[in-house]
Amino acid sequence: MVYSQRIATPGKPYPLGATWTGRGVNFALFSEHAEKVDLCLFDANGRKETDRIPLPIVSDHVWHGFVPDLQPGHLYGYRVYGPYDPPAGHRFNHNKLLVDPYAKAVVGQVIWHPACYGYRIGHPKGDLSFDRRDSARYIPKGMVVKTEYPWGTDRRPDRSLEHTILYECHVKGMTALHPQVPLELRGTFAGLSSPAVIDHLRRLGITSVELLPVFSFLDETHLAEKGMTNYWGYNPLSFFAPEPRYLTQPGPDEFKAMVARFHEAGLEVILDVVFNHTCEGNHFGPTISLRGIDNKSYYHLLNEDQRYYHNYSGCGNALNLWHPRVMQMAMDALRYWVQEMHVDGFRFDLAPVMARSPRGFEPNAIFLAAIRQDPVLNTVKLIAEPWDIGPSGYRTGEFPTGWSEWNDAFRNGVRSFWRGDPGMNGAMATRVSGSSDIFWRRSPLASVNFIAAHDGFTLHDLVSYNHKHNDANLENNQDGTDHNLSWNCGAEGPTTDTAVRTLRRRQKRNLMATLLLSQGVPMILGGDELGRTQDGNNNAYCQDTPISWLNWDAPGDPEDAAFLDYTARLIRLRQMHPALHRRRFFRGGPKPRGSMPTGDLPRASEGFAPVKDITWLHPRGSEMTDGDWNDANLRCFGYHMDGAEPGREDDRMIILMNAQPDAMAFILPGQAYGREWRVALDTAHDAQAAVDASYPRPNQWLSSGHAYPLQGRSLVLLVERSGLARS
């Protein structure tokens, strides 16, 4: 038994967590069903419990107390007393040390041991049994911190959505092999914000870095037994504390310094956050934090038997965000990361879970409504992954105004088209024009377009493998999706075949060009601009190895440097032309009166009909008809864009796409659409030629009616002659 010389005075019930006042620390913990709460203090290495102090007061289900003279850096945890009655939803066990869900720093990692569980593993009654072993030596500890930081003149870049270029990456994966990042900083926030990484992002033209989870997280037991880790981090322990593995010193300051450096470079920081489940899993999971604090309040339990959990996430449990205190915890965490840590937005993993009630998914759920009305959170970027594994879990397009969503329909449509699947022209046209069939209630900017993301093939692997190769995950290649919509271009994996390698490079150019020239908000997977490969692994969640890390020293293809330049050129093209990042959907008709171009193009008075804001083109140079769209054998089309929106005028453009293996002559439309064109991009040519503004030199200016030699499996961007200065 630990006896304490310290005594807690009543303190205050708010704010929740451990708050240093300068005179001591106020502790506050919500538990609606607890009977008693002990604060446990530990020595500097977290091994010895030095004090066990009952929190003396409970106010509105918040247990609180003030400990004088306690300083930042002190380690702590809780023991919570109450009934152990799983069928009634209660799993209190005061023998288990619990991590404060509001801890601003977490020190140490879970050491998996049977004592981490509230029940006796192997007991005939399973989780209905009760384990009396003390878990403190195996559990991470919260650390008291001071939140002040010398931010100076730090300001959010506040990039508008139409100018946003997202870059999804992993803190460690970006730097683990970077030769210009000091060895001791690789894999950390400090390493990620090193000049070499920031210079790369700025050279590329990125505006916003979207980081895979950085909240404190755990490695699942089945991974620990294999000597693996949860590399991606979608297994949260604390919603306020940065992951210790990404820090050189405990506490939040290193993360703040990273954000300040990114902001100074004009880059936004967006966090991938997990509020759908926690690391405690299902009824057979450990008791580490929320389960032992108040299982019945924090988690969605089945009505018919509260021993069990709703599992909308596939990870064993779901947070009960319909409980006001649980919603408060999530809202407090989000505001903390914006106000104290200065982040610029969030991407919500499996976001429909956050909007689930007993009636199912609700677009106007209280958590979503709370975010939209919050004066802090409604000013940052909000991105939803709009699906989960619960009933009717696919909810793309159903999130409220103010949200953007990952658009897997864009990913699938673009992959299928460039793979050469028949009958994809219509789907491709819908995707590149902003997916109005999905986001019609909002705008094209509601669509976050992507070809590749952390979950699935990289861009290079997408054109190099027909099948997943996940053997390194030690799950007999049974994990990961088989629906990749990939094409290896004629050989599986690495090859010396020149024709295959050339075609792969062209396909990568096609895919990247489609991503960056389409309406919506583009997201690039970190490393795709460098030809990153995972050797065909499409589920590298457990690969904290070179399989997942960016290889900066030895690019997989000699053309990788050229592809980096090519991608940067595409981003510049996109940013220069408002027509490529519209705030409104195309109308499919003439532009509103007063917004017609003022140049010397033929007008309706000259016998030409007004030109539509977007015109879909058949290779013969005429508009596509219903019969053309229904022609499954036609895998080629184009479109003409008549500038941008009213008030944001731009040059006319034509984009031609040919997914067929054979070349064809694509007739440029008549003079009403523009008289002279120049080639800004042709993916049929190697990267350097494709970004050369002077290509093709022999026919610099192409006239209407010209038969453009559109090569097989290629994309061409033509800009009206007046657009030369921009591009």
Contact, 240 vs 273, CB < 8 A? Answer: no
219-225: average pLDDT: 95
Q: What is the pLDDT of residue 610?
A: 76
Active site residues: 349, 385
Tokens of 130: 């009760």
- Contact (Cβ atoms closer than 8 angstroms) between residue 79 and residue 29: no
pLDDT for 359: 83
How many other C-beta atoms are found inside a 10 Å radius of the C-beta of residue 183? 9
State the pLDDT confidence band at 241, using cuts at 50, 70 and 90: very high
Q: Is the pLDDT of residue 337 over 90?
A: yes
CA 720 to chain centre: 36
Q: How sure is the predictor about 136, in pLDDT bands with cuts at 50, 70 and 90?
A: very high
pLDDT at 603 over 80: no
Confidence category of residue 606, pLDDT binned at 50, 70, 90: very low
DSSP 488-542: -TTSSSS---HHHHHHHHHHHHHHHHHHHHSSSEEEEETTGGGT---TT-S-GGG
CB 260 within 8 A of CB 271: no
pLDDT at 441: 93
Q: How confident is the model at residue 277 (pLDDT cuts 50, 70, 90)?
A: very high
Mapping DSSP onto H, E and C, the string for 290-347 reads HHHHHHHHHECECCCCCCCECCCCCCCCCECCCCHHHHHHHHHHHHHHHHCCCCCEEE
d(CA 710, CA 664): 5
Phi and psi dihedrals of 414, rounded to 5?
Answer: -70, -45
Q: What is the DSSP letter of 370?
A: H
Span 163-211, pLDDT tens digits:
999 999 999 999 999 999 999 999 999 999 999 999 999 999 999 999 9
Cα(127)–Cα(117) distance, integer angstroms: 9
pLDDT confidence of residue 533: 96
pTM, whole model, 2 decimals? 0.95
Structural tokens at position 15: 């704010």
pLDDT band at 410 (very low <50, low <70, confident <90, very high): very high
| pLDDT value for 108 | 95
Report the distance separating Cα 114 and Cα 292, nearest Å: 15
The residue that leads in pLDDT, 578 or 590, is 578
Predicted confidence at residue 200, as pLDDT, reads 97
Element (H, E) at 91: strand 90-91
pLDDT of residue 599: 39
**Token pair belonging to 374:** 């919050």
The DSSP code sequence of 257-279 is: HHHHHHHHTT-EEEEEE--S--T
User: Which pLDDT score is estimated for 328?
Assistant: 97
Per-residue confidence (pLDDT) for residue 651, from 0 to 100: 82
Per-residue pLDDT for 604 more than 50?
no
Give the pair of three-digit tokens for residue 566: 């090519």
pLDDT for position 675: 81
How many Å separate Cα 298 from the centre of its chain?
Answer: 25
Residue 602 has pLDDT above 80, yes or no: no
Reply yes or no on whether the pLDDT at 64 is more than 60.
yes
pLDDT of residue 686: 63
pLDDT of amino acid 685 = 84
Average pLDDT over residues 289-312: 96
Q: Which two tokens stand for residue 656?
A: 């031609």
Q: What is the pLDDT of residue 451?
A: 98
Q: Specify the higher pLDDT residue, 561 or 520.
A: 520
Query: Which long-range contacts does 364-372 make (Cβ < 8 Å, 24+ apart)?
Result: 364/400, 365/321, 365/322, 366/321, 366/322, 366/327, 367/321, 367/322, 367/327, 367/330, 367/331, 368/399, 368/400, 368/403, 369/400, 370/327, 370/331, 371/331, 371/334, 372/400, 372/401, 372/402
Q: In the prediction, which pLDDT does 591 show?
A: 65
Question: For 348-383, what is each residue's pLDDT tens digit?
Answer: 999 999 999 878 899 889 999 999 999 999 999 999
Q: Is the pLDDT of residue 550 over 50?
A: yes
State both tokens at 466: 């027909």
In this predicted structure, what is the pLDDT of residue 646?
75
pLDDT at 597 over 50: no
What is the per-residue pLDDT for 590? 77
Q: Which domains are present in the chain?
A: 409-585 (3.20.20.80), 614-720 (2.60.40.1180)
pLDDT range class, residue 323, cuts 50, 70, 90: very high
Angle between helices 560-576 and 498-517 (to 10 degrees): 20
Query: How many Å apart are CA 268 and CA 375, to the nearest integer?
Result: 19
Across the chain, what does the average pLDDT equal?
Answer: 93
- pLDDT over 60 (residue 607): no
Beta carbons within 10 angstroms of residue 126's beta carbon: 14
* Spatial distance between the Cα atoms of 74 and 27, rounded to a whole number of angstroms: 12
- d(CA 262, CA 197) in angstroms, rounded, equals 10
Helix (H) or strand (E) holding 90: strand 90-91
What pLDDT digit, counting tens, does each position of 462-481 carry? Answer: 999 999 999 999 999 999 99
Amino acid at 546: P
Banded model confidence at residue 723, pLDDT cuts 50, 70, 90: very low
pLDDT value of position 321: 95
Report CA-CA distances (Å) from 571 to 164, 648, 686: 10, 19, 18
CB proximity list for 30: less than 8 A, separation 6 or greater: 16, 61, 62, 63, 293, 294, 297, 325, 329
pLDDT band at residue 213 under the 50/70/90 scheme: very high
Instruction: Note the pLDDT of residue 688.
Output: 44
